Amino acid sequence: MKEAARTSVVSHRWENLWKFYGGCLDFDDLGNSKMLLYECTGERDVRVERRRYLNWVNQVLVSHQVPSIEQFRAYFELDKDHSTTIDSWIRFAAAKRVRRLELDLSSLFSSENVKELEEIYSFPMDQLLSGELNLKLLTSLRLIAINVCEEHVLGFLSECPLLEELSIA
């Protein structure tokens, strides 16, 4: 996505070209996040950066105009407090007939790198099983720092017939 934005600066005619990109929507902000590890003076800075990340992803998704995407990847420290937003990202990916879905919500900022179970985001399995989420074309699913139980794994296997790769950490 950052390369597409850089390309749009080259010519005004290319300014909105990225909106029609159907490849990989990669929202990996690891570079900026690593800098924050050294610059953050407290939880307030982390909240500001988290809000910036959420706004960035949401703005791109609102503008995106292609009917399908190959991959959706989000990598940033988020938890159950952001469930509504993360659920909307998953619905977006499902509506775009995503083939590869990767959500890494692991902790970047805390020294422990471990969250309490009640803080972890839970995948909206009820929406998948009810048919609200259509992930029938999904071939790869990677979920990191997301609450998933054994029944969820069985649900993924039954609702995603083309699934070749399933990674849960």
The band of 49, judged by pLDDT with boundaries at 50, 70 and 90, is confident
List CB contacts of 3: < 8 A, sequence separation 6 or more: none
Give yes or no for a contact between 71 and 26, defined as CB atoms under 8 angstroms apart: yes
The per-residue pLDDT for range 60-108, each reduced to its tens digit, is 899 888 889 999 999 998 999 999 999 999 999 999 999 999 999 987 6
* Eight-state DSSP code of residue 64: -
Please name the residue that has the structure tokens 């934005």. 5
Instruction: Give the domains, in start order, of the chain with CATH numbers.
Output: 22-168 (3.80.10)
The per-residue pLDDT for range 13-36, each reduced to its tens digit, is 555 555 566 678 888 865 555 455
Query: Is 3's pLDDT higher than 60?
Result: no
| 46-60, 122-136, 154-168: range with lowest mean pLDDT | 46-60
CA distance 88 to 81: 13
Query: Is 124's pLDDT higher than 80?
Result: yes
Query: Is 57's pLDDT higher than 60?
Result: yes
